[in-house]
Structures are given as structure tokens and as C-alpha cells.
Amino acid sequence: MRIAIIGAGAAGCFCAAQLRKWRPEWAVTVFEAGPKPLAKVAITGGGRCNLTNDFQGIRSLAEAYPRGERVMKRALKAFSQEDTIAWFQARGVPCVLQADHCWFPRSQDAMDIVHALLNAMKGVDLRLKSPVVSVEGPEVCSASANNIADATAEHTSGPWLVNGEAFDAVVVTTGGAARGLPFLEGLGLEMVPPVPSLFTFTVPDPGLRSLMGLVVEAAIGLQGTAFKAEGPLLITDWGLSGPAALKLSSYAARHLAESGYKGNLSINWLNANENEVRALLQKSALDNPQKLVSSTHLLQARLWSHLLAKAGLRPDLRWAELGSKGLNRLTATLIGDSYPLTGKSKFRDEFVTAGGVALSNIDPSTLECKRYPGLYFAGEVLDIDAITGGFNLQAAWSTGYVCARSICSREIGKN
């Protein structure tokens, strides 16, 4: 058996390592366009590599995977986050779990993950600086593109040609398909247009920016839509970042791309509902009637002063003087503070691509192309992406594993 893997990233290398483990006698070739394998893994998590998540901080899989949740449910059954930790620990990389549910190598060094994968790939023909420019399936030359049934029958018998070289199966793991997949264009696969995900928000509000450095446990949403996210929100010198903002950028990735990254953000600073906030303020007024509202902060002092000013309340106002109008204005500001969004910025250098090869093209259990048997997809090239926290790499490990397992169980051309 000759297997071609296109892309020596997380998914491609993991798939190659599994194939090596299960079928050491097979010839596995990994084509990598760049000069180094696993170049992106080496810089993940700021060089520390957040390799997976314990999935305890999310309520549903869709919360972690806004796109690809159903395929990921199956892939995680085949190879879970616990399997990831066991896999790397068994290969000499002790891992630690942080309080925020993220797993890292104990050494805090992403190169340990890189080396473990490369060790597990010994015997694989890893070809660097070898971009794949053409992939031809048997049907391209011999079957009618309109007759899928005929085409399928023909595919199973002939080899795939990758840069003109013959292989029995091909795994495409070329990562975020921002530039498309020109070498697959002839196959007529359905593609979901790629858009960036995981970015921070540019908010040109001097009052907000003056609070730079504050982190608040809040909820943030896009006005006029149902998109919202909660968690720590970081105020920066350009706008808003932190897990809550990044999550929102992921959930609303396509909507924001279509609206040119313009809109209005709504922040619920206490992440509480109107009745809860009203009750909190009323209690404060009852407990401290003669105190200044500005000196009894329910949030960090700088933010509290900013919000009182936005609610139009005097700095020398006492709780006894708040009245129902003041209470209404302060409640409205605390639960629905609004800021214009004028653009997006990078979160460190981390980003993922939403979109890519449409999941309708593939069998979700095997990740094999329905129309072209012998052609598989894994990792970010698929229309699967996640919020931050190790979920994206977990998708690469799990889908890479499923492809290897499917190829082994199929054993195309075993004779």
C-alpha cells in the first residue's frame, strides 16, 4: 500500500504516525510545501502548545466547535481528548492541566510535541519543500463526471496520481484553505468559502480604551443578532480581546466577514439578567443610602466610574438619591452597554480558518470523500473549526486518527 499525505501539519503528521504504528510495512509519503514539518504546531499556544482541552468548561460540543460539531462528535468517539493525553504521555511528553481546562506539555515547550510526533513518524518518507500541485483520481481521465456511480466503480481500481506519482490513497491535510485547494479543483468538490475566525475587536471608544488592562467576567454580543459569548473580557488599547471576545469572533465569523467587521457590540458587564442586576442595585441602595454610588463599586473602580458616567449619573450622587430613573439607567448600562465595532485585529498570531472542504463531501464516520473513494480529509482543511483552548488541535489529532483508521480498515489495493 502506498499512502500520500499532503501537508506535514498536526493532522497530517498524526495520521502518518498512526499509519506507521498500525501498518509499518506500508509506504507512507508526506508531502510538505514548507521547509519544516509541524511549523505551526511549534508556535501554538505562544510556543507552549495548548494540545487539547478537558472539555469540562463547555456545555455542549457546539459551544467548542461552531462548525463541524457533528463530525467532531464521531471523531472524538474514535480518538478523544483523554486519548490525546495518553498518546503523548506514552511517547515521553508528560502533560499538565490548567485551571482553565487547557492541557499543555509539562515542559511548556511545543517542541516536545513536535519531537514526539516526528519520532512516531520514523520510517515515513517525509518530503520537505515539496508542494503538491496536482492530484488526479482515476475518474479524471476515464469516467464521466456526470455519472457518479460509474465514477465510483472506476476509482476503486486505479491509483491516485500525486504530482504524477502513484498512490493507493490520498489524505489531504493542508490546513486552513484560505487560498483554496487548486490541486483539487478538477474534482468539483463543494467548498465553503473561507473566512477568518479567532480575532479581537477594534472599538474606537476612548473611554473604553482608557480602561486598558482590565479583565471582567462578562457577556458580549452582537446587537441585532443572536450571537453572544461569555467569559473573561479583556479591555485593550485598541478595543476588546480575551476569551469572551474570541469566542464571539468564532461564533459570528461568517456574519462579521459579510458585514465588513462593522456593527455594534453589546456588553453585559455583570453577566446577569435585568432582574438580578436591579435587585443587586436596590440592595446596595438600601444598605448604603448615604454613601456615594461612585464609591460603592459593584465592578472594578475604574470601570464602575466609566459606567456611571455613561449612565449619566453624577459622581457625587448618593444611593438614596438614585431614584427609579437612575436605577433604570444604571441597570440598562450594566446589562446592555453598547460600543461601535469598526474592525478586527489579530489575537497574538493565532487564528483559524472557518470554511474549507464542505462536510457534505465526506462520510462523517470515515472522513473519506463520498464521491471519490480513496481520497480523505483531516484537520483545518475541512469546514471544522473551534474556539481557543486546545479544541482546534484536538480536531487535527482526532480527524487525522480517523483517516488512518479508515484507510487501514479499507486496505485498498491490498493485493
Ligand X SMILES: Cc1cc2nc3c(=O)[nH]c(=O)nc-3n(C[C@H](O)[C@H](O)[C@H](O)COP(=O)(O)OP(=O)(O)OC[C@H]3O[C@@H](n4cnc5c(N)ncnc54)[C@H](O)[C@@H]3O)c2cc1C
Query: Which one of the spans 28-36, 60-68, 334-342, 366-374 is the region binding ligand X (CB under 6 A)?
Result: 28-36
Of 172-191, which residues contact ligand X (CB under 6 A)? 173-175, 183
If binding is defined by CB under 6 A, does position 239 make contact with ligand X?
no
Give bridge partners of residue 203 from the DSSP assignment. Answer: none
Give me the sign of the Cα torsion angle 251, 255, 261, 266: negative
Query: Is there binding between residue 164 and ligand X (CB under 6 A)?
Result: no
Q: How far is the CB of 128 from ligand X (least distance, A)?
A: 9
The reply to whether 64 sits near ligand X by the rule CB under 6 A is: no
374 is a contact residue toward ligand X (CB under 6 A): no
Query: Should residue 87 be labelled a site residue for ligand X when binding is judged by CB under 6 A?
Result: no
Smaller CB distance to ligand X: residue 106 or 314? Answer: 106
Rounded Cα distance, 402 and 68, in Å = 15
Minimum distance, C-beta of residue 340 to ligand X, in the bound complex (Å): 28
- Which run of H or E residues covers position 310? helix 301-310
> What is the side-by-side order of every strand in the sheet holding 52-53?
52-53, 102-105, 95-97
Cell 499509519: give the residue: 19
CB 364 within 8 A of CB 395: no
Distance (Å, whole) CA 229 – CA 246? 9
Per CB under 6 A, 352 contacts ligand X: yes
Burial class (CB in 10 A: 0-12, 13-18, 19+), 287: exposed
Q: How many CA atoms lie within 13 A of 161 on its CB side?
A: 11
**CB-wise, 52 or 268, nearer to ligand X?**
52
351 belongs to the binding site for ligand X (CB under 6 A): yes
Contact window for ligand X (CB under 6 A) among 218-226, 252-260, 300-308, 344-352: 344-352
Stretch of 134-142, 171-179, 256-264, 366-374 contacting ligand X, by CB under 6 A:
171-179
Q: Which stretch binds ligand X (CB under 6 A): 75-83, 233-241, 332-340, 343-351?
A: 343-351
Which residues ranging from 121 to 140 are in contact with ligand X (CB under 6 A)?
A: 131-132
Of 19-27, 219-227, 268-276, 347-355, which part binds ligand X (CB under 6 A)? 347-355
Which CB sits closer to ligand X, 40 or 405? 40
Q: What is the total residue count of the chain?
A: 415
In the bound complex, what is the minimum distance in angstroms from residue 288's beta carbon to ligand X? 45
Q: Which is nearer to ligand X, 197 or 331 (CB)?
A: 197
Closer CB to ligand X, 102 or 307, in the complex: 102
Q: Which three cell numbers stand for residue 364?
A: 462523517
Contact 408, 119 (CB under 8 A): no
Cα–Cα distance between 405 and 387 in angstroms, integer?
26
State yes or no: residue 199 binds ligand X (CB under 6 A).
no
How big is the site for ligand X, counted in residues (CB under 6 A)?
A: 37
Q: Which residue is nearest to ligand X (CB)?
A: 9
Beta carbons within 10 angstroms of residue 348's beta carbon: 11
Residue type, 213: G
Contact range with ligand X by CB under 6 A, out of 21-29, 39-47, 78-86, 302-310: 39-47
The residue among 175 and 374 lying less far from ligand X, judged by its C-beta, is 175
379 binds ligand X (CB under 6 A): yes
- Residue 44 in the binding site for ligand X (CB under 6 A): yes
* Nearest one of 273, 212, 202 to 237, comparing CA atoms: 212
Distances (CA, A) of 259 to 177, 223, 262, 343: 21, 13, 6, 10
State which of residues 17, 49, 113, 117 lies at the interface with ligand X (CB under 6 A). Answer: 49
* Gyration radius of the chain's alpha carbons: 26
| Of the residues 218, 396, 402, 412, which one makes contact with ligand X according to CB under 6 A | 396
Task: Please give the full DSSP string across 156-219, using - where no structure is assigned.
Answer: TTSPEEETTEEESEEEE-----TT--GGGGGG---EEEEEEESEEEE---HHHHTTTT-EEEEE
Q: Does 6 bind ligand X (CB under 6 A)?
A: yes
Rule CB under 6 A: choose which of 4, 29, 32, 375 binds ligand X: 32
Query: Which residues of the chain form contacts with ligand X (CB under 6 A)?
Result: 6-12, 31-34, 39-41, 43-45, 49-50, 131-132, 173-175, 183, 349-352, 379-381, 390-393, 396
